[in-house]
Structure 1
Amino acid sequence: MDFSIWPNYTVDFYRFKLLALDVKRLLRAHERTNSATSWLPQYLLLFHFPITTSLEEHAAVFPSASSSSKVVLVVGGTGGVGQLIVASLLNQSIKVRLILRDLMRASALFGKQDDEKLQIWKADTRNPVELDPSMFQGVTHAICCLGTTAFPSRRWGGDNTPERVDWEGVRNLVCALPRSLKRIVLVSSIGVTKSSELPWSIINLFGVLKYKKMGEDFVCKSGLPFTIIRAGRLTDGPYTSYDLNTLLQATAGERRAVLIGQGDKLVGEASRLVIAEACLQALDIDLTEGQIYEITSIPGEGPGSDKEKWEELFKAAHTK
């Protein structure tokens, strides 16, 4: 075996933690199969090391963008922003992969879809051992819309707290994503850098801004191509429990004009539809790579789904 063709990736503490959990699971499988090597390919997949003997085989394991179709992983796809993202992707005939805790919720929301267009995996990002490498095979882009309420509520049931969702869930997801990923877009919140200042300190009483910032920092240091969208206070919807046609017909009311800034200076509200479209646009606009944006929306005509207009808005934010 030619070890020289293996990618030279930095493996951090959390990847080792995931490795230990994965090896434990695989060793149990090994005991059942009594095969000395059956677990080895999965073991190496955690590091995203291809088992190859030639450069040609290496290229087959990590196909280029031109040789593979677009597959967008959406995590948090049944939430207020996530479901709008999924609906738009399906409407564009882009392949979507969802990781969800509740499969029935996705079925009720998106209805029956072609398995080639929509693939749904049951897993909990709070539990890294559930994030099997097979879930991520072929994924080219990812959008993470994980989130919970800032203050204790029924949504905190089942340990669904900001620490578990916005920090541990994001961290575990990022560790599991393939190193070949072209872009991850993370939805965060304005005010994450000002959690000790009023009024943000009130919002952060239970740590939501702190844990969102920790998730942001982990994404930034992951080595993956990223874009972070810090949303203003979300308005419009959420459109939970509506069918796909209803989602596609949703509008942002009068708040269609978009404001984009950097440096955590913007304040205000943001339409869920605007944030969903911003995430979709950021996947393919090169200049958004490695950038963090704050986005709000105000009354007026906006860019809609016009890529050129969105690119101009993102570019203008760099010069403010």
Structure 2
Amino acid sequence: MSVEWERCRCVARCKLVYKKLKERSDQYVARGLVRTEESKQSIGGADDLYVGDIRDADSILPAIQGIDALIILTSAVPKMKPGFDPTKGGRPEFYFEDGSYPEQVDWIGQKNQIDAAKAAGVKQIVLVGSMGGTDLNNPLNKLGNGNILVWKRKAEQYLADSGIPYTIIRAGGLQDKEGGNRELLIGKDDELLKTETRTIARPDVAEVCIQALQFEEAKFKAFDLASKPEGTGKPTKDFKALFSQITTRF
């Protein structure tokens, strides 16, 4: 299976997916899309890394042609305004760079990818979003006045309406911890945000992305994803059973 992942502005998560795909070369032929030559070199500079801008539909076509599945990890990332001093109290202020607002990255950029994938006959799209989208007043929407969760949900709905088999993963708070050591939890409608189990290790999200390509039970499904604390419960190994728990299509 030929699989492409799209580089998000959060490089760590994308590297994880790319690495996991490359490690399974008996199952997948990996291909990546990065935004700059600098990003390509930071990941290793391999020939299977394409350079393109998801906001420019034509620039991503070479990366999309001939693939079987697409993993979308795109996310606009706010920057902190300079001058914040945590010792003086108050809250930091954030902004998005011109051209990098959620509307442009999480909506237009994802829409361009979905359209290109549909035209190319891609058989499945895995899209990683975020929990919190049911609440318009979620603090993430206020960062830089970007309404990031609003635009992410708009792209998710567009994918669900596209006719392409999809898996939408709304991840909880991302942690830089080792994966494979925790019991994963499936939820819906941000129910997990009301509990103490609302975070997940980045490698676990990457693993779920790839596992979703292997099971019919993951197709036409949308779900929240988090994990129990390490040492609580049993580490998830049966992903078919995990995906079978999901009852929501959006």
Query: Do both proteins adopt the same fold according to a TM-score greater than 0.5, normalized to the shorter chain?
Result: yes
What does residue range 281-296 of structure 1 map to in structure 2 within 5 Å?
281-296=211-226
The 3-state SS of whatever aligns with 1:193 is: coil
How many Å separate the matches in 2 of 1:223 and 1:99? 23
Aligned to 2:168: 228
Partner of 1:144: 72
For the residues of structure 2 that align with 1:136 and 1:97, how far apart are their CA atoms? 9
Q: How does 1:150-229 map to 2 (within 5 A)?
A: 156-179=96-119, 180-196=121-137, 200=138, 202-205=139-142, 206=145, 207-229=147-169
Structure 2, unpaired ranges of 5+: 82-93
Give, in angstroms, the shift of residue 137 of structure 1: 2.1
Q: Distance in 2 between matches of 1:142 and 1:155?
A: 29
Partner of 2:56: 127
Match of 2:235 in 1: 302
Contact 2:185–2:226 under 8 Å retained in 1:
yes
SS of 1:227's partner is strand
Query: What TM-score results when the alignment is normalised by the length of structure 1?
Result: 0.64
1:103 aligns with 2:37: yes
Counterpart among 71, 96, 99 of residue 2 in structure 2: 71
The residue type paired with residue 99 of structure 1 is L
Residue 150 of structure 1, CA deviation: 5.3
Structure 1 runs (4+) greater than 4 angstroms displaced: 150-155
Q: Is the 8 A contact 2:5 2:14 kept in 1?
A: yes
Using the alignment, how far apart are the partners of 1:87 and 1:124 within structure 2? 22
CA RMSD of aligned residues (A): 2.3
Secondary structure in 1 aligned to 2:169?
Answer: strand
CA spacing shift, 1:195–1:100, aligned 2, 3 Å: same
For 2:40 and 2:188, locate their aligned partners in 1 and report how far apart those are by CA, in whole Å. 34
**Amino acid of the structure 1 residue aligned with 2:24:** Q
Contact 2:106–2:155 at 8 Å: present in 1 too?
A: yes
Question: What whole-Å deviation, never above 9, does each CA across 1:177-231 have from its counterpart, x for those lacking one?
Answer: 14521210000011112224xxx1x221220110111111111111111010000
Higher mean C-alpha deviation, range 269-278 or range 76-85: 76-85
CA apart distance, 1:102: 1.3
- Relative distance call for 1:167 and 1:152 in structure 2 (3 A) is farther
Question: Counting helix residues as a fraction of each chain, which structure ranks higher?
Answer: 1
Q: What CA deviation, in whole Å up to 9, does each residue of 1:153-197 have, x standing for no partner?
A: 68833421111111110011111114521210000011112224x
Superposition deviation, residue 131 in structure 1? 2.8
Point out the structure with max Rg over C-alpha. Answer: 1
Matched residues in 2 for 1:152 and 1:171: separation? 27
The count of corresponding residues between Structure 1 and Structure 2 is 222
Alpha-carbon spacing, 1:295–1:150, altered in 2? closer, same or farther (3 Å) = farther
Structure 1 unaligned residues grouped into runs of 5+: 1-69, 238-250
- Compare 287-296 and 148-157 and name the one that shifted more: 148-157
Q: Which amino acid aligns with 2:122?
A: L
Q: Deviations over 1:73-126 (max 9, x none)?
A: 1001672221101000001112111111112322222x364x4xxx12211011
Mapped to 2, the partners of 1:74 and 1:185 lie a distance apart of: 9
Partner in structure 2 of residue 279 of structure 1: 209
With normalisation by structure 2, the TM-score equals 0.81
Q: Percent identical across equivalent pairs?
A: 29
Contact 2:79 2:95 (C-alpha < 8 Å) held by counterparts: no
Q: Give CA-to-partner distance per residue, 1:275-304, whole Å, 9 cap, x none.
A: 11111111121011111010012223422x
In the aligned structure 2, how far is the partner of 1:177 from the partner of 1:105?
23
For residues 125 and 222 of structure 2, the distance between their equivalents in structure 1, rounded to whole angstroms, comes to 12
Offset, 1:152: 5.7
